[in-house]
Structure 1
Amino acid sequence: MLTGTRPAAPVVTRDRRRRRRTVVALLATLAVLAPVAWFWAASLPAGSWSVAEMGVPDGGGGPVGHAAHDMAMPGRSVDTLRLPADVPVDVQVTLVARADGSGYTLNGQRPGPEIRAVAGQVVAVRLVNADVARGITLHWHGMDVPNGDDGVAGVTQDAVLPGGEFVYRFRADQVGSYWYHSHQVADEQVRGGLFGSLVVVPPGGVGAEATALVHLFGGRRTVNGVPGDVAVPAAAGQTMRVRVTNTDDGPMRAWSGSPYRVLAVDGTDVHDPTPVSGAAVLVTAGGRADLEVTAPARVELGGAAVVVGGGGPPAPVPSGTVDLLRYGSPAPLGFDPGAPTRIFDYAIGRRPGFIGGVPGLYWTINGRMYPDIPMFTVAEGDVVRMRLSNSSGEVHPMHLHGHHAVVLARDGVPATGSPWWIDSLDVPDGATYDVAFVADNPGVWMDHCHNLTHPKQGLVAHLMYDGVTTPYRAGPDTPNDPE
């Protein structure tokens, strides 16, 4: 009888072991999946959100005011940060945005018309949306306009929907080369043609000049919408300022086979520019460089060219690059970056995660993933230093709205040339830049990568002034999609 019961014991033991292994496997699976599920759920977008309430406040060693996370406190709305309505207007422009089969137009052309002003004039631009389905705004890239006219959907205004309009007003008090573009569904709309040139000249002008708005349309490099070479008439020996603007997502090179000078970068004149030979200028995505050539000459733009006074044969790509850290001569900055009020880190990385419930390999800022990114908070009058570093594996053209910063050092090497003022700066993988600026333009400002595919993947932060709020919201329940 006993011998008949002995085989049952191993079966029970095997069943218990099998159940135990199953439970352990389930627990291990839950241990892995539970955090993943939590991160996935946490990344799901709300119906709408305010950029003023998102992220982690970072005061850079200074106090963090109420504006970063307490919207119940009183403050100045971005709507109040505009030019007074009774200021007379000198330059009036109407831009009508339309969609067509191959992209978008402004006043029937792609890119839009150039806007020009004399320093000190007040510019009013009436934007009319004829039929751009997802709406449109206009951002004045490099022009430090009042925050209410910065043109960022969901931050400083609502997107202008079909049949609607919005009037931007600002004083053009910065001489130089700038541009304007949509900041609603920005990647698609800029790529499709919703942009144009903005030029501000001093009283009396700057002499002979030409605009070179460079853009890839259908994979072809164009200048002012024209593929190939663009001819600019000039007499032999005449100097010509060529305003090169890079409207694409990546860096581009500009050069000439004959000596030239770099007169300005991002709208700011270089102090004591010297002749350049055998080197190209790297123009950041979103950035500008004004080059002076003497006719006959060619300004090569990598697949297109500005041919001045008949030019000559195409010049090969130089092996060298102008080092703007050492180009020109030193000059006063107007403030002391050695005594900053706040010091920030903007460290760009990359890691797997979720944004909007979608898994992917996304950009990080200071180790954090959107929307849990830093909110850089300042007070008006602060001297701000920021260290930009990149370990993400790709170059990033960083653009701070509403301010110009001066480059202090690259990879720890101090600047020794002309003050290198920028609003757009290439930060290659492995590089570190130290920059500084004065917080003199109150508002809520984007500080993002101008490869416009990257902000959609999380590479966007904001600079917020103490006491400033915004009533605008972004998200699927709103018309606003600034990226």
Structure 2
Amino acid sequence: MPSRRELFRCAVVGIAVTTALGAGALAWSSTLLGEYSVMTMGGGHDVDTAAGGHSGHSAGVPGAGEASGTGGATGAVSVTSLIADPDRPADVRVELVAREGTVEVPGGRSIEGYTVNGTSPGPEIRAEQGDLVEVEFVNESVADGATLHWHGIDVPNAADGVAGITQDAVPVGGRHVYRFVAEDAGTYWYHSHQVSHVQVERGLLGAIVIEPAATSGPSGDAASRDVTALLHVYGGQHTLNGRVADERVEAEPGETVRVRVINTDQGTASVWSAEPFRVVATDGHDVNRPSDVEGQRLLIPAGGRADVSVRAPAAGHVVRLHVGGARSMVIGDASAPEASAPPVRQPKETLDLLAYGAPTPLSFDASAPDRSYDYVIARRFGIIDGRPGNFWTINGRMFPDVPMFDVTEGDVVVMHLRNDSGDVHPMHLHGHHVVVLSRDGVAASGSPWVVDSLDVHPGESYDIAFVADNPGIWSDHCHTLPHAVDGLIAHVMYEGVTTPFTINGDAGNRPE
């Protein structure tokens, strides 16, 4: 028979366990989000100034640096009104039909996923700079609903395609029209922003290329041939333009070929070659005076793009450009055997875009910003929407109590990104491009490095800047999409802008 002391000890342990379970159950139920609006995120608290030396502050702007959960709740401008000119006729019209079912992967095995107009990737859209693009999106059979987000294109907020923020997810049988002016020539892509960690991975995506206006001249290094290299992994199969195979590009000796590399996958992609190449654009923005890259690899973050120029070799030969590691673009004489350019090992040295190309003045002064924010990424144990786990934090706070970065139209905004989480994060800001000012305190010394998707490695810090010139409510999140599901998402909110849409409501909006 147990002693009185043992019985007492068991009773104490039992009470402790019961108390812990009760508290856990309470915490669990208290974090079941239910229906909510991004307007309430952040809870109205200040940005966590203890997270780093760049605490939220501004150059004399009242309220700057505050992480507001209201962010313009008293304003009268809805995201639905932030649209392209409704009276202007479209220059480019496209219908895209999303279906749920089998994705045929040429050269590989088929998977269950999503197609756009019957294929994945979906059809490439081409437009000219200045065109008004109109896309009618039809959801034929995607059970969870779907949207289209124009990754890297600074569209009006109503066209951003984020379920629960700028629209409701399009249900089965529904339609939605997106309209935007293709302001910036460059390489971009489109994808669903509804249950995106599933729908993007399984193929609801495609490329969009905006060519320079005829009056503006060539963009970057002049190229006589222009090809797309869209990278995606379907069920573990690395593909190039939807195929498990290398791609041949016929080119005359001495001809310059522009290869538009689009990384639609969840991890960083590498580009390299045994022959010199040039990086002529990043995320749709030209590099000033690019030089030959030799013996180095170019890294492209998840969601990022890079335009690379390659010169075709002499007759009877080809150049092999490794894209993504598993596949290659083989460029040159169509009659030359691929064996004339065998695969080569990936270089260990990485091209530093912070010092690549030649400097040129920025279009704005980032030395005296109107608003300055920290964005410090870490992780800790907690519960999100009833799920316990080791989740990401932003400025020490866990989703949905994460900062809301308030701005006013015209502000120059500087953000200090710091990654204390132990994992790499490709950070993507919607509706804007940022210029990289410094990394780990070292100032940029090359061409302005302009991006919308930026890999921040463990222990790294970046200072980035942008002009708040596109009113709306904009996601600012990690494009390793499962990370966004686990809370690595914040928003830039313009003063006076509101949204009528909610997440987890009757419309079933689940943007990540």
Under a length normalisation based on structure 1, what TM-score does the superposition of the two structures give?
0.93
Of 19, 28, 31 in structure 2, the residue corresponding to residue 43 of structure 1 is 31
Give the whole-Å Cα distance in 1 for the aligned partners of 2:272 and 2:242. 20
Q: How far did 1:319 drift?
A: 1.7
Give the direction of change, closer, same or farther, for the CA distance of 1:326–1:125 in structure 2 (3 Å limit). same
Determine the structure 2 residue equivalent to 1:345.
374
CA contact (8 A) 1:253 1:280 kept: yes
Determine the structure 1 residue equivalent to 2:321.
299
| 1:204-215 correspondence runs (5 A) | 204=214, 207-215=224-232
CA contact (8 A) 1:97 1:130 kept: yes
Does residue 88 of structure 2 align to residue 87 of structure 1? yes
Q: How far did 1:295 drift?
A: 0.8
User: Structure 1 regions of 5+ residues with no counterpart?
Assistant: 1-13
Instruction: Write the letter of the residue equivalent to 2:327.
Output: A
Determine the structure 2 residue equivalent to 1:243.
260
Determine the structure 2 residue equivalent to 1:424.
453
**SS state at 1:226 partner:** coil
Determine the structure 2 residue equivalent to 1:272.
289
Determine the structure 2 residue equivalent to 1:398.
427
Of 251, 254, 267 in structure 2, the residue corresponding to residue 234 of structure 1 is 251
Instruction: Write the letter of the residue equivalent to 1:200.
Output: I
| 1:369-388 correspondence runs (5 A) | 369-388=398-417
| 1:292-371 correspondence runs (5 A) | 292-296=309-313, 297-301=319-323, 302-310=325-333, 312-371=341-400
User: Structure 2 regions of 5+ residues with no counterpart?
Assistant: 48-55, 103-111, 314-318
Determine the structure 2 residue equivalent to 1:286.
303
Give the whole-Å Cα distance in 2 for the aligned partners of 1:221 and 1:24. 56
Moved more, 464-473 or 305-314: 305-314
Q: How far did 1:258 drift?
A: 0.4
Q: How far did 1:113 drift?
A: 0.6
Identity over the aligned pairs, expressed in percent? 53
Give the whole-Å Cα distance in 1 for the aligned partners of 2:276 and 2:232. 25
| 1:137-148 correspondence runs (5 A) | 137-148=147-158
CA contact (8 A) 1:254 1:280 kept: yes
1:447-469 per-position Cα deviation (integer Å, ceiling 9, x unaligned): 00000111111111111111000
Determine the structure 1 residue equivalent to 2:41.
54
1:142-162 per-position Cα deviation (integer Å, ceiling 9, x unaligned): 000000000000000001111
Give the direction of change, closer, same or farther, for the CA distance of 1:381–1:30 in structure 2 (3 Å limit). farther
Does residue 136 of structure 2 align to residue 165 of structure 1? no
Give the direction of change, closer, same or farther, for the CA distance of 1:95–1:407 in structure 2 (3 Å limit). same
CA contact (8 A) 2:415 2:465 kept: yes
Instruction: Write the letter of the residue equivalent to 2:429.
Output: L
Q: How far did 1:120 drift?
A: 0.5
1:314-370 per-position Cα deviation (integer Å, ceiling 9, x unaligned): 222112111001001111111111101111111111111111111111111111111
Does residue 141 of structure 2 align to residue 131 of structure 1? yes
Determine the structure 2 residue equivalent to 1:473.
502
1:75-128 per-position Cα deviation (integer Å, ceiling 9, x unaligned): 200000001210121000000111113211111111001111111110000001
Determine the structure 2 residue equivalent to 1:78.
79
Determine the structure 1 residue equivalent to 2:438.
409
Q: How far did 1:35 drift?
A: 4.6
CA contact (8 A) 1:389 1:431 kept: yes
Give the whole-Å Cα distance in 1 for the aligned partners of 2:476 and 2:350. 27
Give the whole-Å Cα distance in 2 for the aligned partners of 1:339 and 1:120. 32
Q: How far did 1:23 drift?
A: 6.2
CA contact (8 A) 2:478 2:489 kept: yes
Give the direction of change, closer, same or farther, for the CA distance of 1:328–1:39 in structure 2 (3 Å limit). same
Determine the structure 2 residue equivalent to 1:6.
none
Give the whole-Å Cα distance in 1 for the aligned partners of 2:23 and 2:62. 34
Q: CA RMSD in A?
A: 2.0
Max Rg structure: 1
Determine the structure 2 residue equivalent to 1:189.
199
Q: How far did 1:378 drift?
A: 0.8
